[in-house]
Amino acid sequence: MRFLVDLSIVVPIYNEEENIPHLHGRVSEAMAGAGVDYELILVDDGSSDGSFVLLREIAERDPRVKVIRFRRNFGQTAAMAAGFDAARGEVVVPMDGDLQNDPADIPMLLAKIDEGYDVVSGWRKDRQDTFINRRLPSIIANGLISRMTGVHLHDYGCTLKAYRREVLDGVNLYGEMHRFVPALASQVGARVTELPVRHHPRLHGISKYGISRTMRVVLDLMTVKFLLSYSTKPIQLFGKWGIYTILAGVASGSLTLYMKFFEGMSMNRNPLLILTAFLLFGGVQFISLGLLGEVSARTYHESQGKPIYVIREKINLSDG
């Protein structure tokens, strides 16, 4: 594949009219002396304010700016996916549209890619968000993701990352999945690293998210776990636990029988009996779950190619 530009910056936009002029200014400033040929892909995720009009104005003035407009609000991940699909750069850098990420950090990320990494993940070491409903859930989610995926980063949720184009080919994004790309990429051999980046309070407007997002992140983590264990197969993961549990049930059952026949213990309301039943049924449940997981993983693989967004129009993009 021949790359048309060095870098594609991808920004999801949902009702960011106050931030858009600053965004364009700050990106242009940051890239001015960087010596890379770049495109800025702004994806309007069904904004209901004046965002699109502003995006169109900017794209008319600056041919490096490309705009994709969705038919409705499909969510941040879908917007990022659309940007990734349209990106023509050798390196792709997603970034938030509210300037919480700092465009001035981009050259630093590119330098890491030049060192030979395929994925450079931003780490908001000094995160400027509220503690209880944003930073605390993130700390818990990051710990969980780190344990479950085996790819150890401090801050999966940071939008600012840099990817070598090839890493994104074949990765299908949905839900809150954009944060799991480093884990999915690493599974197929990508070199992943992280780099502290700056973080600012939102320039204008309010966040589009609350605590409910954490729940969706956790659900997506389950999916990712299935996908990552797809090579080892969910049935093996759960089947192992199922077999252990059933073995424990058999042991507990044998003990029950021994107690009844050799020790003459009464089995009326005997907790051992209940434990045995629990373990045997539990083991069967585990194995069933493994089978279900197997089906989910397969269904996922087969459902690839299903669009997660619908485009209304494109500006400065060839087939727009």
Could you tell me the strand order of the sheet in which 119-124 lies?
A: 192-197, 119-124, 161-164, 89-94, 5-13, 38-44, 65-70, 311-315
Q: How far apart are CA 215 and CA 273, in angstroms?
A: 37
Contacts with ligand UDP by CB under 6 A lie at 12-14, 16, 45, 73, 75-76, 79, 96-98, 100, 202, 207-209
Nearer to Mg ion by C-beta: 98 or 118? 98
String marking each residue 68-97 x if it binds Mg ion according to CB under 5 A: ----------------------------x-
Compute the least distance from the CB of residue 208 to ligand UDP, in Å: 3
String marking each residue 202-241 x if it binds Mg ion according to CB under 5 A: x---------------------------------------
Compute the least distance from the CB of residue 15 to ligand UDP, in Å: 7
Q: Which does 209 bind (CB under 5 to 8 A by kind): ligand UDP, Mg ion, none?
A: ligand UDP
Q: How far apart are CA 170 and CA 59, in angstroms?
A: 29
The pair of structure tokens assigned to 297 is 């993983």
Q: Which does 97 bind (CB under 5 to 8 A by kind): ligand UDP, Mg ion, none?
A: ligand UDP
H or E element at residue 161:
strand 161-164
Q: What are phi and psi of 46, to 5 degrees?
A: 70, 40
Q: Which does 75 bind (CB under 5 to 8 A by kind): Mg ion, ligand UDP, none?
A: ligand UDP
**Which residues ranging from 95 to 124 are in contact with Mg ion (CB under 5 A)?**
96, 98, 100
Q: Which does 76 bind (CB under 5 to 8 A by kind): ligand UDP, Mg ion, none?
A: ligand UDP
Residue 34 near residue 66 (C-beta atoms within 8 A): no
C-alpha distances in Å from residue 12, one per residue of 82, 89, 97, 219: 9, 17, 6, 22
Nearer to Mg ion by C-beta: 211 or 295? 211
Compute the least distance from the CB of residue 192 to ligand UDP, in Å: 22
If 0-12 CB within 10 Å is exposed, 13-18 middle and 19+ buried, where does residue 286 land?
buried
Compute the least distance from the CB of residue 62 to Mg ion, in Å: 24
Q: What angle do helix axes 271-302 and 234-262 make, rounded to 10 degrees? A: 170
Q: Which does 14 bind (CB under 5 to 8 A by kind): Mg ion, ligand UDP, none?
A: ligand UDP
Contacts made by residues 218-222, CB under 8 angstroms, sequence distance 24+: 218/141, 218/144, 219/175, 220/175, 220/176, 220/177, 220/180, 221/141, 221/144, 221/145, 221/148, 221/180
Compute the least distance from the CB of residue 73 to ligand UDP, in Å: 5
Nearer to Mg ion by C-beta: 98 or 105? 98
Q: Which does 90 bind (CB under 5 to 8 A by kind): ligand UDP, Mg ion, none?
A: none
Q: What are phi and psi of 101, to 5 degrees?
A: -85, 155
Nearer to ligand UDP by C-beta: 75 or 89? 75
Q: What is the contact surface with Mg ion in residues (CB under 5 A)?
A: 96, 98, 100, 202
